[in-house]
Amino acid sequence: MSAKDKKIYIAGHRGMVGSAIFRALEKLGYSNLIGKSSIELELKSQKDVEQFFQVEKPDIVIDAAARVGGILANNNYPYPFLMENLQIQNNLIDAAHKHNIEKFIFLGSSCIYPKLAEQPLKEESLLTGPLEPTNEWYAIAKIAGVKACEAIRKQFGKDFVSLMPTNLYGPNDNFDLNTSHVLPAMIRKFHDAKMNDHAPVTLWGSGTPMREFLHVDDLAQAVVFVLENRMENHLYNVGTGTDLTIKELAELIQHTVGHNGNIIWDSSKPDGTPRKLMDVTKLREAGWEAKISLESGILETYQWFVKNISKLKEIKIS
């Protein structure tokens, strides 16, 4: 069987990450891709996941399914961010192991690393210090997933690999101001303010923290690279290796959107981790690196947002 004919299940194929991976594989000629909506397959149900694996028998699984959100959502809803992510990934990882899936790619986040870990963040920094309190619930779940994949790789020699991307953005992002991450939230705020006669925009924190951003299509290409190669290590950071301040990001987005009003920084709100720059040496040495610039990526994302704004659904969390 050709590699491109193998049955590949992409969990979370309708989300920003999963849809980007689906598009990338389709474009490359992968012809046997599976995606299931949450109505078709409840990933939090061990019974449903087990039955899915028995019936579909995928060869490869890419886990892009997760409950995600920014600082506000993580702070306000700690239990679902911990429990639902554990349920989703544990069901998928265990079923993949039991059914002898030949390759499993687990996607996490750079927030798994300690809040004050040495910069840039190396894979070896995992579990060396306390986490950022505002997103530790999500981070703990993702750490458990990384360690589960590592344990299966160590004990059974299976090709289970974890990828930890930096802050992602791009088409199909979440632009709901109550649950979104910083970059899409800024796009939404500056756009709304522009439409409101260039009203002032209030942003959280001081603007001094530094962040790295990766276009989701770059992440998709990293997933394809890992899919097509046997990786030496169990854990790889995925990023650009460069960062900027939140203030610089705000000014870049403001310019891209065409907003001419003032920016007000609300320093009573939390900044989060002071800096989160990824050390991407391992993946770069393996043969992959990001290609999309932040300027062109933000412009493309804003154009997508404007085109799709009438169809965007606000996400409700309970």
Contact 214, 200 (CB under 8 A): no
Q: 16: annotated binding-site residue?
A: yes
Q: 171: annotated binding-site residue?
A: no
Q: Within a 10 A sphere around the Cβ of 118, how many other Cβ atoms?
A: 13
> What's the rounded Cα separation, in Å, for the pair 197 and 260?
9
Q: 308: annotated binding-site residue?
A: no
Q: 129: annotated binding-site residue?
A: no
Q: 284: annotated binding-site residue?
A: no
> What's the rounded Cα separation, in Å, for the pair 216 and 21?
9
Q: 272: annotated binding-site residue?
A: no
Q: 15: annotated binding-site residue?
A: yes
Q: 179: annotated binding-site residue?
A: no
Q: At what angle do helices 246-257 and 182-195 cross, to 10 degrees?
A: 40
Q: 108: annotated binding-site residue?
A: yes
CA 8 to chain centre: 19
Contact 30, 59 (CB under 8 A): no
Pairing of the two strands 244-245 and 213-215: unpaired
Q: Compute φ and ψ for 208, nearest 5 degrees.
A: -90, -25
Q: Which positions are annotated as active-site residues?
A: 138
Q: 12: annotated binding-site residue?
A: yes
> What's the rounded Cα separation, in Å, for the pair 233 and 238?
13
Q: 166: annotated binding-site residue?
A: yes
Q: 271: annotated binding-site residue?
A: yes
Q: 110: annotated binding-site residue?
A: yes
Contact 103, 60 (CB under 8 A): yes
Contact 292, 162 (CB under 8 A): no
Q: Which of 239, 306, 307, 304 is nearest to 277 (CA)?
A: 239
Residues annotated within a binding site for substrate? 189, 204, 211, 271
Residues annotated within a binding site for NADP(+)? 12-18, 107-110, 142, 165-168, 181
Residues annotated within a binding site? 12-18, 107-110, 142, 165-168, 181, 189, 204, 211, 271
